[in-house]
Structures are given as structure tokens and as C-alpha cells.
Structure 1
Amino acid sequence: MDITLEKKTLTEGFIKITLKEDDYQPQVEEKIKDYSKKANIKGFRPGKVPFNYIKKLYGKSILVEEINQILSQSLTSYIKDNKINILGEPLPNHDKSKDIDWENQRDFDFEYNIGMVNEFQYDLSSKVKVTAYDISVDDKVINETLDNLKLQYGTMTNPEVSEAGDAFYGTLTQGDFTKDLLLESTQIDKKLAKKFVGLKGGDTIKFDLHKAFSDTHELSHILGMSEDETKAMAGDFEFSIKNINRKIPGEMNQEFFDKIFGKDNVTSEKEFLEKVKSTIGANYEKETLSFLDYSIQNKFVESTKIELPDEFLKKWLMTANEGKITAEDIEKEYDAYIKDLKWSLIKNKIVEDEQIKVEHEDVLEKTREIIRAQFAQSGLGAQFEDSIDAFVDNYLKGENGNNYHKVFQQAQSEKVMACIKEKISVSHKKVDLEKFKKLVSN
């Protein structure tokens, strides 16, 4: 057997494999003998089917199967032994192999196109500077949060006459189209929303849906229809009001405190305000840390020069996702794919260079963290702490081990980020919420 690598560029090449008869014939004959012992063919006693008869019936398929197995093993071993850093999977040259005469040919030539990543260097030092933005929890944010909480935990009423900010349950009609739904006047165009003031149950109002809701995605959600179906709904519709809904904001009392933070966990307005502020701060800290990680990732991707085999990768993506995506889809998403690929390569190199290791206990602790967060979101908490490891074990065994791999990757990514933050320069800057939102959206 001969295996050689022929480089087309620094990042693309061909692995050529030549098989001689001696490379595959012993395995083929052994497989035919095995078939003859196990085959159950009419006219022959079990285990007594002649070798040549089996060869005539199954020889070609056995030959193809054995050669494919030899090729797969040889290709994998060659790449590993020669430490070739490939991307994707080797792509067989079908033009090279389509004219093979399996009946008469004895020697075979195969060719595989491969994509490789060149050696690259990254800067993991204090010269790399990234800004971490810390959100100021000012009075405006606290007051907005309080207003939202008061509405969220307020009392629902059904007044006779509508006012600004009310919601309306009724029937939307146009010709044969009829649908019961809830309209929030706060979602409606401000000019049109004024027409919803002073209405009563039984009243009907006519309006153009797309003028009332300029956001097609939001409108499709309200209607419970696809965006394409929503776009086709042109002209005026009639909305017949059945009920008017109005939320009366909750009052700052013990019942209100208990609804939000649990019974008697907060017993005064002062404690409540402090708890709200600390909760907002904790939530914002998660967002700012997430944005810092994103900024670091972008910094390394943009500043690290990595040559990639674009032509090969696009071809490989088409092959790997055959029938699921088009060439146009690949072109549209390619930049985002390359960005993720570059970060993955940088991250893996940092893991190797810095000898970052993820132990089994790291995976267990990360899973505990994930499950505790899920319990907290569901309003559950400390009562399940004694059983947390049982939940962890059950989760990590799920999805045929994929959950374990997923958590392992999360734990590894966090260790990589922690390592980076220790070595680069991270400066902190206070910003208000609006400024932070603009930074995130850019």
C-alpha cells in the first residue's frame, strides 16, 4: 500500500492511496470463507457452501466492503500518524473512482481532498486590551422595574369603559376570516391606540392591521399565524370587543413582598427596595459577563491570522448537509461559520498550550449549577438540594451521552475564558442600561 500527501496550497491537498492485491486479498478470502460457513443457501447443507459459489454470489460486494474498510482505517491512521490538522472530513474524488472495474481490476487508486489549518499564533498577554461594561443600577432602572412588578403582580379588572393602556379581548373579522384574540393597546400604533379609549363591551372598531402593527413578527405572534400568512392579510378588519381588561398595579405591602420574594423573606419597604436592587444587579452582571466573553472572543478572532481552505470548506459543507442546505445558504452564513470555526481553533490551541484540563468533578459541578438554575426559574429551590446528585446523574446519562459532552464543552469554555481574563488587560467602565443595550446591538 502506498499513501502520499500532495499539497495544492498551504491549506488544501490530496491524500492518494494505492492498494495492491496483497493489501486486501487475504481479508477478502477470509470473509468469503466465513460466509461459506454461515450461509444458509437452498441446495447446500449449512456450513458446506463451496468457496467459489460464495465468491460468485458475493465476491464483488465483499471486495468493495473490505476495500472501503481498509481505506477508512488507513486514511485515519495516516492523518493521525503524520499529525495533519484537517478541517471537516476528507472528501473522496468520485471522478477518480467511478471507472473502477471491480470484476477484473487488481490494483486500485483512490484520492481524497482534504482541508488543513495552517500553524498560527495568538497573543495571550497584557497587550490585549478589552473593556468590560458594568451597568449602573440607577433610580430610573429601579423605578421602571418597580412599575413592571406592580403591573405583573397587580389585580386584573374588567371596567365598563376603556382607558389608555387597557387590553381588549374580542373577535377580529374580515369576510370569512374570524379569530378571537387579545389586543394590548400598548402594542398598537400610538395614533390608532387613541381610538381605543372610551370604548365599551359590544363596540366595534375598524382598522388596517398592518398600520396598527408595523412589526410583522409581533403581529404574526398575536394572530398565531406564520409571517407569510400575516403579510397576505391586507385591508381593513373589524374588531368586536367582548371584554376590557385592566391591570390595577399592586400596592407596596407584605402580600406584594411575599408574592415576589417568598413569604416573610422581606418585611419592609426598605428591605424590598434593597432586594430589588441587588437582584437587578445580579441579573445585569450575568449580561455584562456574557457580553465580555463575546467581546474577548471577537478580539481574538479579529486579531489572530488563520488561513483557511474556503473552497474546500464550502464543498464539504454542501456534502455534509446534502439536501438540507443550498449553495446560496452557505454563502449567506459562511462568514458566521468561519468566525465560529476560528474561535474553536483558537480555543482548542489555548487548551493545548495552557494545559487546561476538565475533570469529571468539573462536569458534575457544572451540571449541578445548570440544574439549580432550572429549579430556581421554576420557583423550586432548596427542597431538592438533597436529591441534586440524582438529578445530575440522570441528566448526564441522557441523550446517549451527548449531555455529558455538552456540559464538558461548557466547563472547558469557562476555564478557557478564565485563563484568558487572567492574562489579558480588562478595564471596567460604568454605563447606564440604554448605553449597554446600544453596545450589545452593534
Structure 2
Amino acid sequence: MGVRVPPSALNPLVHIKHKRFFFNLLNDKTLEINFDKIENSEALIKISLKDVDYQPQVTEKIKDFSKKANIKGFRPGKVPFGMIKKMYGPQITAEEINKIIGDSLNNYLKESDLQFLGEPVALDPEQPIDWVNQKDFDFTFNVGYAQDFDLKIDKKLKIENQKIKIDEGVMKETLANLQQQFGEITNADAISQGDTIYGVLSAKNKLEDKEVTFELKELHKNVSKKLIGLKVGASMDLDHKKSFNDERYFTHITKLTEEEIKSVKGKFTFTIKGISHTLPAPVNQELFDKTFGKDNVKTEEEFNSKIKETIEKNYEAEAVKLFHHKIREKIIEVTQITLPNKFLKNWLLRTNKNINLEILDKEYNHYQKELKWSLVRNKIAKDQAIKIENEEILNETKVILAQQFGGMAALEQLGDQIDTMAENYLKAENGDNYMKVFNEIQNRKVFGFIENEVTAKVKIVSLDDFRKN
């Protein structure tokens, strides 16, 4: 019999206090719970039940059931207690014991001084359970927990903080992108730089006329050069691994599975069916209005100034993300946190159908980092008394929803509806949305604290260098 304890019941605390714990039941009896450490950050919790711990509840349930049972040969509510006990006693006993075990384990975890990770894993009993004759029961759970750790965050911790220099090259690139974005799309006879190409992909005996569309810029330069000047109807070979800058782009445009791609021996043949060419938009008032709204910009000088301001604002947010990432990585690197890795791996395999050993080996390091950062973040929040009120969570959710509806102006347009929408959003996904917003706010406050404590080493970099991160 297994009992799953929801993560929300796990309380983040630190030291082992109890080797043995007696939990008071409603019938004033005591339930014995033993905690036995088996290795670093891993232990067994054994819960022992005597018949006095569960029998009163079972008897009450049988009496209640006999009053409601409708069995042939007996008037409703007059079925003998003994008959109900014989017919349904084992099932009722199992249900009541399962409830007692679940409640007791939850309460034990809440009152413990340990920060448990994952969920308790019920171990199979040494002997099969006899629900008819057995009086005493023992249930054992394997648990993992995080040991207490020291966290040193001060000026001795030096972390690089990159600031992007917006040079002439970045300005030209951004202007060219805007001209392309708002330019006039035309059909072309031959391929030129910046074009979008439509055609069909085929492979001998494996694939026939698969329609695909891709941008020329996604191809390796040596491949795109060969396409320049080709006309509609022309064909060429494409290698799914070598022709594109990112081989994942090939999967994206073809929607082929990995197995389908692997089944093709050699290269694919691509035949051009259409060429889309964009005439760059001229730099005039129409482009100003399309980019920043009607009459917000009047001159080319204002336009360039606004572009630079927007780039700086956009990349400032990216620079902050990178700085926070470096903070996180550095703190995880210098902080000694012991995790129950064996327990966590077994737990992940048992509770996630989509995870196998291969995926676990590949992803566990990332999972471990996320877990360590969560422990660090919670410790800082606790030590610094960082609190998050429900009103903060609700307001943050309103902003998230407003952005989905086109920006902050949507808050006024939606009026009181936004409150209901925010509340429904937070309740959805079994509370996962609530925790996402909570963690986002907590992260922001924790990083705000860390930024004031560490030494930020500012480094001015070009946009190209920044993109290499």
C-alpha cells in the first residue's frame, strides 16, 4: 500500500530532531513513528500501527455502512454488523489504515525540522499484508532531505555584469530589420539575399514532395551562395545536418520525426516552387509611424534616437537576465549543498512516465542545479524575511494577462474582468500557475538582495560578443 505526500506538505526546515515520534490520534492513542538515517540526506520513516490505532474508526465505518446497506433478504438499514464486517471489513480496514498513514506521515513531515525533497516512496512490506487476520502493521517510507548549508553572500563574491555598447553596426542592422519587416513583399523569378523560398522536399523511396518554406539566411553561407540566382523549377541537394546553421531548423520546417529523417540515406532533394522577395521600406514618415505609432516620431534624427533607446531598453533586460544567471551559477558553485541524489533519481524514475535512464543521465545535472537554486532562494527569503503577499501575486498576474492582450492599456479596457481572469488563472493547473507567479516575485526580490551584497564587475561588450553567451 502506498501513500503519496504532496510537495505542498513538505516544510523547509533544517536539523534532525526526532529519532522517534508519537503522533496523537483522535482517539487519544499514540502512533509510533521512527526515523532512521541510512546515509547522507536519506532516511527511512517507519510507521507502526496497533489494532487500537485504527479499529475504532473501522468499527464506526462498518456500523455506518450497515445502516445504509441495501442487501437482498434484509430491510434497508437492518443488515447485521457481522455480515457487513465479513463482506466489507478488509476493504474498510485498508481504507482507514491508508487514511491514518497518509495523515500521520503528512503531519510528521510538517512538524519535522528537515527540508524534505521529492515525495516519500513507500517500500514493499517484508510479508504480504493479511487484511483479514493481521492486527499490527508496519509501513516504511524512503525519504530524501536537504541538509543545512552555509551561505556566504558578500562583497568578496565578484560577478561579471555585461553592459552592451550600441554601436553603428547594431543601429544599421536594426534599421535593416525594420525596413525588411515593414517592406513590400513581391514574387521573384530568381533567388537573392534575404529571400524566403517555398518548394518541395523529396528523398528516394522515402519521401515524396514534402512542402517546406524556409528563409535563405537560415542556410550556411557556403550553401546559400549556391542558391543565389537559381530560378523557380531548379533543384538542389540539402543535407539536414550540414546545410542549415542549426540542424533543428530542418526538423522545424519539415515537421519530420527523428526516425523519418534517419531513414533517409544520403541527401534530400529540394525543388523551388516559389520565391518571396521583400523590397525594403523607405525611411520616411510611414516607416516612423509603423514602428513607433502615428506621429510619435517626426524626423530621421528622432527615429534613430528612438531606435537606440529601444535597443538599449530591450538589451538591458537581456543583460539583467544574464547577470542573474551568472549570480545563480556562481552561488551554486561556491555553496556546498548535499542532495540525496540516489533517492531523487529513483523517485524521478518512479513518478515520471516520460523519463528513462538515458534522459535522466542527460538532464539530472540541470535538475540538480534547479533544486539547489530553489534551496538557496528559500534560505535567503527566510533569513531576510522576504515576504510575498497575495495582493502582489494578484497584481503580477494582472500584468502577465494584460501583456497577452496587447499591453498595459488592456488593464483599463478589461476593467473588473481582469480580477476574475487573474483569480481563475492562479487556480488553474492545480495551483502550478500560482507557484510560477510566486516564484517569479520571490526570484526578483532575492536577486534584488543579492545585487546589493555582491561586487558587480561591469564589462562593456559589443552586441556580437554579448550574443555569444
In proportion to residue count, which structure has more helix? 1
TM-score of the superposed pair, with normalisation by structure 2: 0.85
Counterpart in 2 of 1:157?
A: 186
The letter of the residue matching 1:112 is F
Q: Does 1:429 align with 2:456?
A: no
Counterpart in 2 of 1:187?
A: 218
Counterpart in 1 of 2:8?
A: none
Distance 1:197 1:4, change over 3 A: closer
Q: Give the stretch that moved more between structures: 235-244 or 389-398.
A: 235-244
Which runs of 5 or more structure 1 residues have no equivalent in the other structure?
none
State the percentage of identical aligned residues: 44
> Is the 1:164–1:196 contact (alpha carbons within 8 Å) kept by the matching residues of 2?
no
Q: Does 1:67 align with 2:94?
A: no
The letter of the residue matching 2:319 is T
114, 138, 141: which is aligned to 2:167? 138
Counterpart in 2 of 1:205?
A: 235
**TM superposition shift of 1:16:** 1.8
Q: Give the stretch that moved more between structures: 219-228 or 277-286.
A: 219-228
Counterpart in 2 of 1:169?
A: 198
What does residue range 374-393 of structure 1 map to in structure 2 within 5 Å? 374-376=404-406, 382=409, 384-387=411-414, 390-393=417-420
Counterpart in 2 of 1:20?
A: 50
Q: 1:308 & 1:238 partners in 2: Cα distance?
A: 51
Counterpart in 1 of 2:327?
A: 296
Instruction: Give the aligned length.
Output: 433
Counterpart in 2 of 1:217?
A: 248
Q: Secondary structure at the match of 2:39?
A: coil
TM-score of the superposed pair, with normalisation by structure 1: 0.90
Q: Give the stretch that moved more between structures: 165-174 or 41-50.
A: 165-174
Distance 1:383 1:340, change over 3 A: closer
Question: 1:32-80: per-residue Cα shift (whole Å, max 9, x none)?
Answer: 0011011121221111111000000000011111111111122222233
Q: 1:237 & 1:25 partners in 2: Cα distance?
A: 72
Q: Secondary structure at the match of 1:94?
A: coil
Question: 1:166-222: per-residue Cα shift (whole Å, max 9, x none)?
Answer: 443344455671134335333344444444344444x43343444644743222223
What does residue range 229-378 of structure 1 map to in structure 2 within 5 Å? 229-235=260-266, 239-321=270-352, 323-376=353-406
Q: Secondary structure at the match of 2:363?
A: helix
> Is the 2:61–2:92 contact (alpha carbons within 8 Å) kept by the matching residues of 1?
yes
Which runs of 5 or more structure 2 residues have no equivalent in the other structure?
1-30
> Is the 2:218–2:245 contact (alpha carbons within 8 Å) kept by the matching residues of 1?
no
Distance 1:392 1:293, change over 3 A: farther
**TM superposition shift of 1:277:** 0.5
Question: 1:225-244: per-residue Cα shift (whole Å, max 9, x none)?
Answer: 22432343445665554433
Counterpart in 1 of 2:144?
A: 115
Q: Give the stretch that moved more between structures: 104-113 or 387-396.
A: 387-396
**TM superposition shift of 1:83:** 2.2
66, 78, 101: which is aligned to 2:108? 78
> Is the 1:367–1:392 contact (alpha carbons within 8 Å) kept by the matching residues of 2?
no
Q: Secondary structure at the match of 2:46?
A: strand
Q: 1:196 & 1:154 partners in 2: Cα distance?
A: 23
Question: 1:258-316: per-residue Cα shift (whole Å, max 9, x none)?
Answer: 11111111111011101110111111011011111111111121111111212211222
